[in-house]
């Protein structure tokens, strides 16, 4: 297998070089783009990109527009970078299908650790699992979910979250435990990240979303 390709999109050349240097040291192949339009051109030209690191504030086309365009065609993991740390930006990112959200300034080592964690999960096909509970079928190899025979489109993080719930059926899970297990790193923010993803996951699952029960003051439990 060749190196995993990562598209780094930022209008600041110094930021691109900083991120690229750290990723290259971890043996990733880095493709750079300086604006949104160039990012889309490179993404659709190269086709087998494994992950996108995408800045929000850019000329010609901002990160939100790029994200929407990519999500029309691909579920590739996307990490958003932004200088703005407002809650509404973060929630908008998760609503649009962002897998990780990092505010500038950030530690390049932390960014690379998150890249490693996402790709480790998406490429762990050798340990792929299949779950079938109460009409919900999750197939890790095919990265597919059906509810009562009907396919359900989930983002990467929503898929990981549902799989974690199904793996731990009947077990009450704290938000901290969910964050550390599904996001695969120590998360020092608040619970909005989890709650936003659970809300979207429930909505997409229709009536079966009720199987994800809220444990007030603690977290959630998946119970058929």
CA distance 203 to 163: 16
**Distance from C-alpha of 6 to C-alpha of 27, rounded to nearest angstrom:** 11
Q: What are φ and ψ of residue 31, in 5° steps?
A: -110, 130
Per-residue tens of pLDDT for the chain, all 224 residues? 468 899 999 999 999 999 999 999 999 999 999 999 999 999 999 878 999 999 988 877 888 889 989 988 888 889 988 776 555 666 666 777 788 888 888 888 888 888 988 887 766 434 557 889 999 999 877 788 999 999 999 988 899 899 999 989 998 999 888 887 787 554 555 567 888 899 999 999 999 999 999 998 889 999 98
Strand 78-82, strand 130-133: pairing: unpaired
Q: Report the CATH architecture of 5-122.
A: 3-Layer(aba) Sandwich (3.40)
What ranges do the domains of the chain cover? 5-122, 126-222
* Rounded CA Rg of the chain: 18
* Dihedral sign (CA 58, 59, 64, 69): negative
Q: What angle do CA 196, 4, 64 make, to 5 degrees?
A: 35
Q: 33, 63 in Cβ contact below 8 A?
A: no
Question: pTM of the entire structure?
Answer: 0.58
Q: State the CATH architecture for 126-222.
A: Orthogonal Bundle (1.10)
């Amino acid at each position: 297998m060749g190196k995993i390709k990562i598209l780094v999109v930022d209008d600041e050349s110094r930021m691109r070089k900083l991120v690229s240097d750290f990723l290259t040291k971890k043996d990733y192949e880095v493709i750079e783009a300086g604006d949104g339009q160039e990012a889309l051109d490179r993404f659709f030209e190269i086709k087998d990109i494994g992950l996108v690191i995408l800045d929000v504030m850019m000329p010609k086309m901002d990160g939100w527009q790029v994200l929407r365009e990519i999500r029309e065609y691909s579920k590739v993991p996307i990490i958003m970078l932004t200088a703005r740390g407002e809650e509404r930006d973060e929630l908008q990112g998760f609503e649009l299908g962002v897998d990780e959200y990092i505010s500038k300034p950030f530690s390049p080592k932390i960014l690379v650790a998150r890249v490693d964690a996402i790709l480790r999960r998406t490429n762990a096909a050798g340990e792929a699992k299949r779950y079938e509970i109460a009409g919900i079928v999750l197939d890790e190899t095919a990265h597919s979910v059906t509810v009562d025979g009907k396919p359900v489109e989930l983002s990467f993080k929503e898929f990981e979250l549902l799989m974690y719930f199904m793996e731990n059926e009947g077990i009450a899970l704290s938000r901290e435990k969910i964050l550390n297990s599904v996001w695969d790193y120590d998360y020092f923010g608040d619970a909005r990240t989890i709650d936003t993803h659970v809300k979207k996951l429930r909505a997409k699952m229709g009536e079966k979303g009720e199987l994800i029960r809220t444990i007030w003051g603690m977290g959630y439990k998946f119970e058929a």
